[in-house]
A and B are shown apart, each in its own frame.
Chain A
């Protein structure tokens, strides 16, 4: 299926939007592939790497599907966080382990 796409300025982009084209830095290295779901923290990182515009899926027509989609995403986030708790069962009490766990939890929750 070909997704309808629109190009928007980076400051118009928000978490949850899906890239329809890969993003490359000035050196040509791929930062994010097509299909990546943007998160708040990725947007900050992209701004710092000089990305000005992004191509995203144009889903303005399907607002009513968004509630179901959001519920599904929340379930995925819960699953990921439970899995992280299991992986860090020995290292979460350690200072660095706790900080790494916090970064990963932020990453998984912001998708």
Chain B
């Protein structure tokens, strides 16, 4: 059943490119000098993106008294950074439409991805990481799972069966059955999509043991993933909360009071983001 990395790279090259407007947004990640008017026009041309942007602006999270009806209004309320995060998220979810059959559950996959994104976003300030970058990296951290589940369906069904039978972590099941795991596959896709290198490391190393070279963003994603499982946000019956490397836990330095506010903030933001991103 084992899968060669060459086959993975070939499959990844065949995946659709991200929409041009998203590539443009990604290249602007380090650059705040963006033409907002032209961006608004481009969003307006895409009906699905427009609907999702307005849904975010009107969500309870922003608590606006009156209804937001135009992209220009949404931009002034949410800010450019939130819009960029949202559009990236929508495009990534759009690149992998759900396919029927097989034992892979797309809904559960996206719930866990959104939960990790939100948890990473809320954890980010603790390690001085940009919350928007953390959100995107969290959303993408398991993207390799989607490549495996959609491009290598039969081997992946066998992996899921192995995981259930051995009650193991998904990454261990992948290594046992496929000889490759979703962190390797995911970072190949992130490189193909030309996301920033720090995001590639976060995807590649979110299950790795700690090293002194590990970037703060990677630690935030590791912790976000652990909290998404531990707060039971993914909706998987036999889910497993992973342990975190000690240096990551120590760096976060959460006491009971901080944790309670953080956990509540993650649960609230998760409910909002699910409505926007997962439902159609």
Contacts and interface: CB of A to CB of B under 8 A. Distances in A.
Interface of A: 22, 30-33, 36, 39, 41-42, 44-46, 48-49, 83-84, 86-91, 94-97, 99-101, 103-104, 106-107, 110
Given A32-B268, A90-B240, A100 B261 contact: no
Contact of A96 (B231, B240, B249, B261): B249
A55 B240 CA distance: 37
Interface string B213-254: 000000000000010011110000011111111101100001
Contacts of A103: 254, 256, 259, 263
Nearest to B61: A30
Nearest to A102: B256
B63 A46 contact: no
B121 to A, nearest CB: 11
Given A32-B264, A46-B261, A103-B256, A89 B230 contact: no
B257 interface: yes
Sorted from nearest, which 8 A-B pairs have the closest CB atoms? A44-B257, A41-B260, A45-B261, A97-B243, A94-B243, A91-B243, A45-B257, A103-B259
B257 A48 contact: yes
A96 B246 contact: yes
A89 B248 CA distance: 21
Nearest to B268: A33
B256 A106 contact: yes
**SS class of chain A's interface: helix, strand, loop or mixed?**
helix
Contact of B261 (A31, A90, A94, A95): A31
Contacts of B248: 96
A63 B248 CA distance: 45
A104 B240 CA distance: 14
B86 to A, nearest CB: 17
| Most chain A CB within a 10 A radius of its CB, from B241, B254, B265 | B241
A36 to B, nearest CB: 6
Interface of B: 60-61, 63, 167, 169, 226, 229-232, 238-246, 248-249, 254, 256-261, 263-265, 268
11 contacts: A39-B260, A41-B259, A45-B257, A46-B261, A88-B241, A96-B248, A100-B249, A101-B230, A101-B241, A104-B230, A110-B260
A13 to B, nearest CB: 14
Contacts, number: 93
A83 B212 CA distance: 35
A97 B241 contact: yes
A48 B240 CA distance: 33
Nearest to A37: B264
A90 to B, nearest CB: 6
A99 B257 contact: no
A7 B243 CA distance: 41
A45 B223 CA distance: 20
B257 A96 contact: no
Contacts of B226: 100
| Most chain B CB within a 10 A radius of its CB, from A31, A32, A84, A104 | A104
B243 A41 contact: no
| Most chain A CB within a 10 A radius of its CB, from B232, B238, B242, B260 | B260
B57 to A, nearest CB: 15
A101 B243 CA distance: 10
Contacts of B259: 41, 103-104, 106-107
